[in-house]
Structure 1
Amino acid sequence: MVSYVIRRLLQSALILLGVSLVTFILLYLIPADPARQIAGRSATAQTVENIREQLGLNLPFYEQYVRYLLNLLQGDLGRSYLQKTEVSELIAARLPATLLLMAGAIFCELLIGLTMGLVAALKRNTPTDTTLMVLSFTGVSSPQFVIGILLLYVFAVQLGWFPIGGYGTFMHLVLPSLTLGLLGAGWYARMMRSAMLDVLRQDFIRTARAKGLKRVQVLFGHAVPNALLPIIAMIGIDIGLFMSGIVVVESVFGWPGIGQLAWQAIQRVDIPIIMGVTLVSACAIVLGNFLADMVAPLIDPRIKLR
């Protein structure tokens, strides 16, 4: 176990290093000039050059990257070009809102998706199965902003059950979580159905039935735990995706998360914030996958960590 954890930590460090390098290269190659963005359109060429020198943007690429890595090793994500605030402080201020929305979205998509997938597997090749799979495909294919606006119009504007937007209470959380949950539930429903059908054909399921176990015991004691293994891996990936990929939902509902922070930074070419959010999201994906690998043996003892 210890050797496995050490190996995974080393792998994670290399992955994060690769993410930082690729992101830094892409930001270095973009045609936009951060110094010009900061100085404004009316600034003189000398002013722009002075700002570029102060920020170190006139240095060669490798010097800029090495400087960034050295600061990163000290826990310094840099300072926002435009907001004049430490990136770590900006992310820390937005992180609780994103984590709350992420937890709500994962809960919704698991509750809806796993239920749909389980029912579809048990009702295989029936109208119920077909209807659920069509709904799951529709959910996966629907744009985020369409689902969000429809939910807002029906449940906030017409029925008045929930606030139109904002952040701070449980009622503010429901609609954005449901929006993300409906989109993710389709993937979980399809995967759960496929995994359940595969498990139900296994010999140990037939043995459990032959021993006279009740159907509920067979399903939830043997079939469902084995079908959940690929689901756990998907949850690990979702953690990272929700950390940075919910910009549209955050914008529709006025949710102050780091996705919205990243979008604002991209519009303004605020490189330190873009790098900071990217690395935090990458850390979330790595951590999510690591936790998924650690939980898998608890569900299926046949899995060994090596």
Structure 2
Amino acid sequence: MASYILRRLLQSALILLGITLVTFVLLYLVPADPARQIAGRSATAETVANIRAQLGLDQPFFVQYWRYLTGLLQGDLGRSYLQRTEVSELVASRLPATLLLMAGAIACELALGLTIGIIAALKRNSRLDNGLMIFSFISISAPQFVVGILLLYVFAVKLGWFPIGGYGTFAHLVLPAVTLGFLGGGWYSRMMRSSMIDVLGQDFVRTARANGLSKWRIVLRHVLPNAILPIIAMIGIDIGLFMSGIVVVESVFGWPGIGQLAWQAIQRVDIPIIMGVTLVSATAIVLGNLLADLTAPLIDPRIKLK
């Protein structure tokens, strides 16, 4: 186990290094000039040139990238061009909101997706199964902003059960988490249904039925632990997805997460923030997948980590 984790961490370090290089190249090739954004439209060419020199943007690409890497190895994500604040501080200030939304969204999509998937698999080819799969298809296809606005209109404006937007209480979390859970739950339900149907056809399930075990005991003790493995892998991916921020949902509900920070930085070509959010998101994806791989053997002992 220790050697596996060490090997995966080394692989993850190389992946993150590659991500920083690709992102840095793309930002270097962007035609927009951060110095011009800082100086303003009316600034002279001399002023813009001075700002470029102060930020080191007049240096060759490899010099800029090496300076970024050396700072990164010391735990320095850089300093925002426009906000004049350390990127690590900006990301840390948005991290609690992002983690809270991530936990709420994953809980909602699991509750919705697993419930629908299990029922649909047990009622395979029935009207209920067809209806649930149509619902899951709608949830997958629905645009995030449409679902978010509808939930706001019904439950915040008309019924007044939840606040229209903001952050700070459990009531503020419900609607954005349900919005993301509704969209992700469709994927989980379809994956769970397919996995359940596959496991239900295995020999050990037929043996359990022949031994007289009850239906729900077979489902909970034998089928579910085997069918849920693909879902664990999806959760690992979702951790990284939500850590990168869901810009549309955060904008609709006024949620102060990393997504809004990244979107603002992209509009202003604030390269240090863009690099910082990208690196944090990539790290979350890598660690999320590693966590999913480490969890799988705990559920199914037949899986061996190599």
Q: TM-score, normalised by structure 1?
A: 0.99
Query: 1:186 — aligned with what?
Result: 186
Q: Does 1:80 align with 2:98?
A: no
Q: 1:175 Cα shift? A: 0.1
1:187-227, CA deviations, whole angstroms, 9 ceiling, x for partnerless residues?
Answer: 00000000000000000101111111111110000000100
Per the alignment, residue 274 of structure 2 pairs with: 274
Aligned-partner residue type, residue 292 of structure 1: A
Give the corresponding residue for 1:114: 114
Residues 145-187 of structure 1, C-alpha deviation per residue, up to 9 Å, x if partnerless? 0000000000000000000000000000000000000000000
1:209 partner letter:
R
The Cα of 1:270 is off from its aligned counterpart by 0.3
Structure 1's unaligned 5+ residue stretches are none
Query: 1: CA distance between counterparts of 2:133 and 2:61?
Result: 50
Percent identity of the aligned residues? 78
- Indicate whether 1:150 and 2:150 are aligned: yes
Query: How big is the shift at 1:245?
Result: 4.0
Contiguous gaps of at least 5 residues in structure 2: none
Instruction: Provide the rounded CA distance (Å) in 1 between the counterparts of 2:79 and 2:216.
Output: 56
For 1:18 and 1:214, locate their aligned partners in 2 and report how far apart those are by CA, in whole Å.
52
Contact in 1 for aligned 2:98/2:245 (Cα 8 Å): no
* Alpha-carbon distance, 1:243 to partner: 1.2
Q: Distance in 1 between matches of 2:275 and 2:137?
A: 34
What CA distance in whole angstroms lies between the structure 1 residues aligned with 2:31 and 2:141?
33
Counterparts of 2:245 and 2:93, CA distance in 1 = 18
Runs of 4+ in 1 over 3 A off after TM superposition: none
Letter in 2 for 1:83: Q
* Structure 1 position 244, deviation (Å): 1.6
Aligned equivalents of 1:69, 1:140: Cα separation in 2: 39
**CA deviation profile, 1:240-297 (whole Å, cap 9, x unmatched):** 0011240100000000001000000000000000000000000000010000000000
Question: Which residue matches 1:19?
Answer: 19
1:43-62 aligned within 5 A: 43-62=43-62
Does 1:215 pair with 2:215? yes
* CA displacement at 1:302 relative to structure 2: 0.3
Q: Distance in 1 between matches of 2:22 and 2:131?
A: 43
Per mean C-alpha deviation after superposition, the further-off stretch among 104-113 and 206-215 is 206-215
Post-superposition shift, 1:236? 0.1
For 1:102-141, list aligned pairs within 5 A: 102-141=102-141
Partner SS state of residue 53, structure 1: helix
Partner residue in 1 for 2:290: 290
C-alpha separation in 1, matches of 2:21 and 2:211: 57
Per-residue displacement from partner, 1:76-117 (whole Å, max 9, x unpaired)? Answer: 000000000000000000000000000000000000001000
CA deviation map 1:115-139 (0-9, x unaligned): 0000000111011011111110111
- Counterpart code for 2:104: G
Structure-1 separation of matches of 2:97 and 2:2? 34
Alpha-carbon distance between aligned partners in 2 of 1:126 and 1:207, rounded to the nearest angstrom: 25
Query: Does residue 1:9 correspond to 2:5, yes or no?
Result: no
CA distance in 2, matches of 1:207, 1:24: 57
- TM-score, length-scaled by structure 2: 0.99
